[in-house]
C-alpha cells in the first residue's frame, strides 16, 4: 500500500488532463451512450459514457455480470453495441471488425496458440501484417526480452508456467505496437504472489511504453494497485469513476464503499441533516455524526466506516462514540484486528497497532471522526440488494 | 524476478552434479516402478476376463484363419508318395516314370479313402480345370494296377501338360506362398521367379484399388459434409448442439442393414431420389443410381458420416472461442485466423475421423453387396464369397491378410506422421 501511496502524486499529475470532465471528442477512447443487450429485454451495459485518455491505465472494476467484460468486448470489436457509439482516436469504430482495430488484447486464459512455439505466437500479429522475416525475428526477440522470456522462444506454451504464459500473451499483445491494449482479467488464474509480481511488471511496461491500457478485473486491490483511474461497474453501468485514492477515501455509494477495501457498515435512520453532515440514529441504539452522501432526513441509511479509522479507548469518549466489548483479537503481524461487539450485538472490525494490549472481554469505547463516517441511502443497497436495472425495449 | 527463471549461476553446478543426480534418479525410478507394479497388476487383473475372452474368441481364431493363407497341407497329405518321388526332380520338363507311378498309387489311395474330391478341389484352385482331370484319372485307376495304372495316367494329356507337374510340386510344400501371391495377382513361373498372372486371370489388384478408391471417395465426402456440420454443432448453444448431435446419431442407432435397405428404396430407378431430380430438373432422365458406384458412395457416405464427424466435433469443442478472438485481435482476417489458428488445432480430429472412416470403408460388405453392381464389389465381398460359396478358405485368408497388412500400414503411417497420442478418436 505504501508503494501505491508514494506513486500517487505522480499518477495524479499524469491523469490530470484526463478527468471525467474531458470534453466529448477529445478523449482517446470515447463511449457515448453505449448500450448492449443480448436478449432484447435486459441490458448487459446501460447508457454508458466513458472517456479514456491517451496513455492512461484505466481499470473496469466490478463483480461478475456487472458489464465490464461486455464493455471491453465492445471496445475490442467482438460485440457490437445495440445503441450508441464508440470512437477510437476520434474515429467511430462500430463498423470496424476486430482485426482492423489494431488493439492488443490479453485474455483471461492467455489464449496462446498451443500449436505454435512462443516465438511463433509472439510473431503471429507481425506475420499476419506481412512484416518481413528478419524484422519479425528482431521485434519478437525484443518483445521477449521485455518480458524476460528470450530463452524460452522455441518452447510450446504448454511447457511454460502460468506466469510465463501470461508474459508471452503480454508480449504478443504489445509486439505490434498497438496504441491501446485491453486486458481481460489477465492475472485471474495466477496465485497471489505471482499476481502481485505481475501487477508491478504490467505497470512497469505501461510506464515504459506509454501505451493506453484498459484493464478488467473483479479484484479491487489489483485495481487500486495498478490504475490511474478506476471505473466501478455495477448492474451494467459505471457507479463511480475516479482515482484509486478517490474511490477508497470518498466512495459515493454504499456499493463502492463495500466493494472497495474493507468497511464496517451500520444501519440506521437519518435523524437530521445539517450541511454536509447528518446525525444518524443507529438501529441497535446509539447515534453517530456522519458525512451525508445523498441522504434525506428520516430515511433509512447505511453508515460505512473503514476499520483503520476507528479507534478504541478504554474510557468513555465524547462525540462520535459507541460503547463496546472486545470480542476477539486477530494477529496479523504488522497490525491487529480487534472485534468490537456493540450493545446491538453488531461486531465492528477495528485495525490497531500490534502493540495494543486490549484483551478479550474488556469494555471499551469505539470512536471515529465524523468525516470518516459516510452515510449512504439504504435503498442504494450493497451489492446484490440493487434491483436489476433491466429495461424492456 | 530470479524466482521465475533459472539463474545463470546455477548452470555449472547443475552440470557438475548431473552424473550423480542421474544415478539417484535411476534408483528413484526403479523404486517407482516397483511401487507401481502392484497397481499395474491389479489393473491387469481387472481387465483379465476381457483380455482372455478376446484372446480366445478373437485373437486365436484370427491367427488360425490367417495362417491358412500360408499353410495348406491338403496336397502334401493326399500325395505322400508323389511328394517323395518329386524330391529328386529338377522341375524341368516332365518327371520320371517313378513320379507317375507314385501319383497313380496316391490317386488310387485317395479314391479308395474318398478324399479324391478334396485333392481335386485344391489342385483346381491352383490349376483351373484340374478338378475333372483328377477325378477322371482317379476313377480310371480304381481297377488298374502297376503298369496299367502308369499307362492310364500317362494316356491323359493333362498329366503331360507343362504346367501340371510344377503345380503339383509346389502343392506338395505345406508352407505355400501361392495364396498370398494370388491375392496380389502374382504367381511363381516355371523357372522359379515371381510374375504377374495373365490379365484375364488378374482380379484382386483391381479389387483392392477399387476398395481403396471407394474408401477414399467416401472419406472425402464425409469430411466435406461433416466438417462444416461439426463446426456448426461446436459453435451453437448447448441445447441446440445436443439436438443436432442426436440428429447426427439417430441413423447411427439403426442397423446398417436397415439403412442400406432404405437406400435401395430411395435410389432405385423409380425411387424418391430420381423422382426428385426429375422434378427439380437437374436430370432429364432417370439415373441408374442403384447397382452403381455413385449409389454405393452415397449410401456409404451416409452411414459413415458420424464416424468422421464425431472425432472432429470432439476436438472442435475443446478449442475455446478465445483462440479465434485472440487471432482477430492480433490482426488476422477471418480466413487467415481459420487457416493458421483453427485448422492446425482441429487437424488431429480431422485425421482421426478420416482414418476411422477410411479403415471402416475398407471392410464394407453389406452395402456393396446390396447397392453396388457387379463391378462395385469390394474386397470383403470377395472374401465372403471365398468363405461361403467357393469354400476356399486359404484364398479368403490370403485376401484378409493382405487387407490387414494394408490397413495396419496405413494406420502406422498416420500414427507416424501425427503421433498416436494426438489422434483423438472421440
The secondary structure of A295-326 as a DSSP string is: --TT-EEEEEE-GGG-EEESS--SSSEEEEEE
* Contact assignment for A111 to B332 by CB distance below 8 Å: no
Which set of grid coordinates corresponds to residue B134? 483328377
Which residues from B are below 8 Å from A176, CB to CB?
330-331
Same domain membership, residue B160 and residue B225: no
User: Rounded to whole angstroms, what are the CA distances from A95 to A67, A92, A153, A370, B335?
Assistant: 21, 8, 36, 52, 19
Which residues from A are below 8 Å from B320, CB to CB?
109, 111
Which residues from A are below 8 Å from B338, CB to CB?
none
- Cross-strand partners of A2: none
Which chain B residue lies closest to A125 (C-alpha atoms)?
B330
Which set of grid coordinates corresponds to residue A69? 467484460
* Contact assignment for B345 to A114 by CB distance below 8 Å: yes
The CATH number covering residue B264 comes to 1.10.3720.10
Choose among A99, A103, A148: nearest Cβ to B332: A99
Residue A305: phi and psi, rounded to 5, are -135, 130
In a domain, B67, yes or no: no
In a domain, B249, yes or no: yes
Which chain A residue lies closest to B325 (C-alpha atoms)?
A78
In a domain, B6, yes or no: no
What is the structure's pLDDT at A239?
A: 92
Q: Which residue bears the cell 441490458? A: A43
Q: Would the pTM count as exceeding 0.80?
A: no
Average pLDDT over residues B35-44: 87
Q: What is the pLDDT of residues A24-47, one digit of tens each?
A: 446 899 999 999 988 888 888 888
Same domain membership, residue B264 and residue B165: no
Same domain membership, residue B396 and residue B251: yes
Same domain membership, residue B400 and residue B260: yes
Which residues from B are below 8 Å from A124, CB to CB?
327, 330, 332, 340
**Which H or E element spans position B370?**
helix B366-371
> What's the Rg (C-alpha) of chain B?
31
* Contact assignment for B325 to A113 by CB distance below 8 Å: no
What is the structure's pLDDT at B65?
A: 87
CATH architecture of A263-379: Beta Barrel (2.40)
Choose among A109, A128, A182: nearest Cβ to B331: A128
Tell me which residue of B407, B66, B424 sits closest to B215, measured CA to CA: B407
Which residues from A are below 8 Å from B330, CB to CB?
99, 104-105, 124-125, 128, 172-173, 176
Buried b (16+ CB within 10 A) or exposed e, B246-272: eebeeeeeeeeeebbeebbebbbeebe
In a domain, B87, yes or no: yes
User: Among A13-27, A295-309, B42-56, B217-231, which stretch is predicted with the lowest mean pLDDT?
Assistant: A13-27
* Contact assignment for A108 to B322 by CB distance below 8 Å: yes
DSSP structure string for B246-314: HHHHTGGGS-HHHHHHHHHHHHSTTSHHHHHHHHHTS-SS----TTSHHHHHHHHHHHHHHHHHHHHHH
Is the pLDDT reported for residue B5 higher than 50?
no
Which residues from A are below 8 Å from B344, CB to CB?
115
Which residues from A are below 8 Å from B1, CB to CB?
148
User: Among A56-65, B241-250, B251-260, B312-321, which stretch is predicted with the lowest mean pLDDT?
Assistant: B251-260
* Contact assignment for A76 to B329 by CB distance below 8 Å: yes
Residue A26 touches chain B, beta carbons under 8 Å: no
Within the 154-213 window of chain A, which residues sit less than 8 Å (CB to CB) from chain B? 161, 163-164, 172-173, 176, 182, 197
User: Rounded to whole angstroms, what are the CA distances from B94 to B91, B102, B146?
Assistant: 8, 14, 20
Same domain membership, residue B237 and residue B121: no
Same domain membership, residue B240 and residue B372: yes
What is the structure's pLDDT at B145?
A: 79
* Contact assignment for A111 to B326 by CB distance below 8 Å: yes
Which residues belong to CATH 3.40.50.300 in chain A? 2-102+179-249
What's the CA gap between A61 and A175, in Å, rounded?
26
Q: What is the pLDDT of residues B253-272, one digit of tens each?
A: 888 889 898 998 899 888 88
Paired sense of beta strands A29-37 and A43-52, if any: antiparallel
Could you give the number of structural domains in chain B?
2
Residue A144 touches chain B, beta carbons under 8 Å: no
Which residues from A are below 8 Å from B343, CB to CB?
none
Gap from A94 CA to chain B (nearest CA, Å): 15
Tell me which residue of A68, A24, A42, A39 sits closest to A241, measured CA to CA: A68
Which residues from A are below 8 Å from B331, CB to CB?
99, 102, 125, 128-129, 176
What's the CA gap between B360 and B352, in Å, rounded?
12
Is the pLDDT reported for residue B301 higher than 70?
yes
- Cross-strand partners of A29: A52, A88
Q: What is the pLDDT of residues B64-115, one digit of tens each?
A: 988 988 888 888 888 888 888 888 787 777 888 888 888 888 888 888 888 8
* Contact assignment for B325 to A173 by CB distance below 8 Å: no
Which residues belong to CATH 2.40.50.140 in chain A? 263-379
Tell me which residue of A324, A332, A269 sits closest to A302, measured CA to CA: A269
Residue A125 touches chain B, beta carbons under 8 Å: yes
* Contact assignment for A98 to B325 by CB distance below 8 Å: yes
The DSSP letter of residue B322 is: H
Gap from B19 CA to chain A (nearest CA, Å): 25
* Contact assignment for B331 to A76 by CB distance below 8 Å: no
Which chain A residue lies closest to B322 (C-alpha atoms)?
A111
Buried b (16+ CB within 10 A) or exposed e, B356-390: bbbbbbbbbbbbbbbbbeeebbbbbbbbebbbeee
Which chain A residue lies closest to B339 (C-alpha atoms)?
A128
Choose among A111, A114, A149: nearest Cβ to B325: A111
Q: What is the pLDDT of residues B124-148, one digit of tens each?
A: 888 888 889 888 888 888 887 778 8
What's the CA gap between B238 and B117, in Å, rounded?
66
What's the CA gap between A253 and B249, in Å, rounded?
55
Same domain membership, residue B331 and residue B398: yes
* Contact assignment for B332 to A102 by CB distance below 8 Å: no
Which set of grid coordinates corresponds to residue A275? 450541511
Determine the 3-state secondary structure of B381 from DSSP. Answer: helix
Residue A251 touches chain B, beta carbons under 8 Å: no
DSSP structure string for A206-247: HHHH--EEEEEES-HHHHHHH-SEEEEEETTEEEEEE-HHHH
Same domain membership, residue B235 and residue B313: yes
What's the CA gap between A209 and A57, in Å, rounded?
12
* Contact assignment for A124 to B327 by CB distance below 8 Å: yes
In a domain, B182, yes or no: no
8 A C-beta contact, residue A368 and residue A349? no
Same domain membership, residue B241 and residue B165: no
Choose among B323, B328, B340: nearest Cβ to A98: B328
Gap from A86 CA to chain B (nearest CA, Å): 17
Those residues of chain A that have pLDDT short of 50 are 1-25, 380-393
Choose among B4, B320, B330: nearest Cβ to A124: B330
In a domain, B148, yes or no: yes
What is the structure's pLDDT at B21?
A: 67
Name the interface residues of B facing A (CB cutoff 8 Å). 1, 4-5, 320, 322-323, 325-334, 336-337, 340-341, 344-345
Which residues from B are below 8 Å from A108, CB to CB?
322
* CATH class (in words) of the domain with range A2-102+179-249: alpha beta
Gap from B334 CA to chain A (nearest CA, Å): 8
Residue A65 touches chain B, beta carbons under 8 Å: no
In terms of residue numbers, what domain contains B89? 74-175
Q: What is the pLDDT of residues A155-183, one digit of tens each?
A: 999 999 988 999 999 999 999 999 899 99
Amino acid at each position: 500500500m505504501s508503494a501505491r501511496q508514494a506513486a500517487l502524486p505522480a499518477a495524479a499529475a499524469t491523469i490530470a488532463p484526463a478527468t471525467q470532465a474531458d470534453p466529448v471528442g477529445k478523449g482517446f477512447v470515447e463511449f457515448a451512450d453505449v448500450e448492449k443487450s443480448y436478449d432484447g429485454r435486459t441490458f448487459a451495459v446501460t447508457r454508458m459514457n466513458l472517456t479514456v485518455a491517451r496513455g492512461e491505465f484505466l481499470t473496469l472494476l466490478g463483480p461478475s455480470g456487472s458489464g465490464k467484460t461486455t464493455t471491453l468486448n465492445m471496445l475490442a470489436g467482438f460485440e457490437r453495441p445495440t445503441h450508441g457509439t464508440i470512437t477510437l482516436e476520434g474515429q467511430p469504430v462500430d463498423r470496424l471488425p476486430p482485426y482492423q482495430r489494431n488493439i492488443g488484447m490479453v485474455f483471461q486464459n492467455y489464449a496462446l496458440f498451443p500449436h505454435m512455439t512462443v516465438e511463433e505466437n509472439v510473431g503471429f500479429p507481425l506475420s499476419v501484417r506481412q512484416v518481413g522475416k528478419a524484422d519479425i525475428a528482431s521485434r519478437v526477440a525484443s518483445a521477449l526480452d521485455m518480458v524476460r522470456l528470450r530463452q524460452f522462444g522455441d518452447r510450446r506454451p504448454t511447457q511454460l508456467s502460468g506466469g510465463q504464459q501470461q508474459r508471452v500473451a503480454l508480449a504478443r499483445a504489445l509486439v505490434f505496437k498497438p496504441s491501446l491494449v485491453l486486458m481481460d482479467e489477465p492475472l485471474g488464474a495466477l496465485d497471489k504472489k505471482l499476481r502481485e509480481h505481475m501487477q508491478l511488471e504490467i505497470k512497469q511496461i505501461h510506464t515504459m511504453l506509454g501505451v493506453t491500457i484498459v484493464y478488467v478485473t473483479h479484484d479491487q486491490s489489483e485495481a487500486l494497485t495498478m490504475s490511474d483511474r478506476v471505473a466501478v461497474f455495477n448492474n451494467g453501468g459505471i457507479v463511480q469513476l475516479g482515482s484509486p485514492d478517490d474511490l477508497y477515501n470518498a466512495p459515493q455509494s454504499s456499493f463502492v464503499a463495500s466493494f472497495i477495501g474493507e468497511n464496517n457498515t451500520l444501519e440506521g435512520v437519518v435523524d437530521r441533516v445539517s450541511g454536509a453532515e447528518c446525525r444518524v440514529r443507529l438501529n441497535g441504539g446509539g447515534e453517530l455524526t456522519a458525512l451525508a452522501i445523498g441522504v434525506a432526513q428520516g430515511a433509512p441509511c447505511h453508515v460505512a466506516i473503514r476499520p483503520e479509522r476507528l479507534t478504541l479507548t478504554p474510557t468513555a469518549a465524547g462525540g462520535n462514540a459507541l460503547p463496546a466489548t472486545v470480542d476477539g483479537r486477530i494477529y496479523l503481524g504488522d497490525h491487529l484486528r480487534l472485534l468490537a461487539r456493540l450493545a446491538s450485538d453488531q461486531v465492528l472490525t477495528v485495525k490497531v497497532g500490534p502493540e495494543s494490549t486490549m484483551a478479550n472481554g474488556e469494555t471499551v469505547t469505539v470512536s471515529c471522526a465524523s468525516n470518516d463516517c459516510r452515510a449512504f441511502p439504504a435503498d442504494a443497497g450493497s451489492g446484490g440488494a440493487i434491483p436489476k436495472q433491466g429495461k424492456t425495449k | 524476478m530470479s524466482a521465475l527463471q533459472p539463474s545463470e549461476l546455477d548452470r555449472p553446478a547443475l552440470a557438475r552434479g548431473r552424473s550423480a543426480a542421474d544415478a539417484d534418479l535411476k534408483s528413484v525410478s526403479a523404486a517407482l516402478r516397483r511401487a507401481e507394479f502392484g497397481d499395474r497388476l491389479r489393473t491387469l487383473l481387472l481387465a483379465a476376463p476381457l483380455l482372455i475372452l478376446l484372446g480366445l474368441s478373437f485373437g486365436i481364431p484370427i491367427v488360425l484363419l490367417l495362417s491358412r493363407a500360408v499353410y495348406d497341407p491338403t496336397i502334401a497329405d493326399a500325395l505322400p508318395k508323389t511328394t517323395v518321388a518329386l524330391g529328386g526332380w529338377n522341375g524341368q520338363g516332365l518327371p520320371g516314370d517313378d513320379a507317375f507311378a507314385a501319383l497313380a498309387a496316391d490317386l488310387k489311395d485317395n479314391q479308395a479313402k474318398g478324399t479324391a474330391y478334396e485333392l481335386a478341389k485344391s489342385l483346381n484352385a491352383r490349376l483351373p480345370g484340374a478338378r475333372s482331370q483328377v477325378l477322371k484319372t482317379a476313377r480310371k485307376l480304381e481297377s488298374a494296377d502297376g503298369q496299367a495304372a502308369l499307362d492310364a495316367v500317362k494316356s491323359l494329356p493333362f498329366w503331360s501338360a507343362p504346367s501340371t507337374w510344377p503345380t503339383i510340386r509346389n502343392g506338395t510344400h505345406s508352407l505355400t506362398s501361392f495364396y498370398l501371391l494370388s491375392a496380389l495377382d502374382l504367381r511363381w513361373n516355371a523357372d522359379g521367379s515371381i510374375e504377374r498372372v495373365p490379365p484375364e486371370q488378374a482380379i484382386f489388384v483391381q479389387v483392392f484399388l477399387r476398395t481403396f478408391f471407394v474408401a477414399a471417395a467416401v472419406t472425402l465426402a464425409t469430411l466435406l459434409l461433416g466438417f462444416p456440420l461439426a463446426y456448426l454443432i461446436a459453435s451453437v448453444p448447448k441445447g441446440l448442439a445436443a439436438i443436432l448431435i442426436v440428429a447426427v446419431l439417430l441413423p447411427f442407432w439403426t442397423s446398417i442393414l436397415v439403412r442400406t435397405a432404405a437406400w435401395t428404396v430411395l435410389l432405385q430407378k423409380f425411387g424418391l431420389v430420381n423422382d426428385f431430380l426429375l422434378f427439380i430438373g437437374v436430370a432429364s432422365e432417370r439415373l441408374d443410381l442403384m447397382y452403381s458406384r455413385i449409389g454405393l458412395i452415397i449410401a456409404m457416405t451416409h452411414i459413415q458420416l458420424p464416424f468422421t464427424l464425431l472425432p472432429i466435433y470432439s476436438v472442435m469443442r475443446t478449442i475455446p472461442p478465445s483462440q479465434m478472438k485472440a487471432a482477430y485481435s492480433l490482426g488476422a482476417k477471418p480466413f487467415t485466423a481459420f487457416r493458421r489458428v483453427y485448422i492446425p488445432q482441429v487437424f488431429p480430429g480431422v485425421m482421426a475421423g478420416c482414418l476411422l472412416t477410411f479403415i471402416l470403408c475398407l471392410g464394407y460388405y453389406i452395402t456393396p453387396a446390396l447397392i453396388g453392381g457387379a463391378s462395385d464389389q469390394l474386397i470383403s465381398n470377395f472374401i465372403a464369397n471365398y468363405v461361403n460359396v467357393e469354400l476356399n478358405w486359404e484364398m479368403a485368408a490370403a485376401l484378409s491378410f493382405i487387407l490387414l497388412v494394408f490397413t495396419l500400414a496405413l494406420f502406422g503411417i498416420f500414427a507416424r506422421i501425427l503421433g498416436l497420442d494426438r489422434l483423438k478418436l472421440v
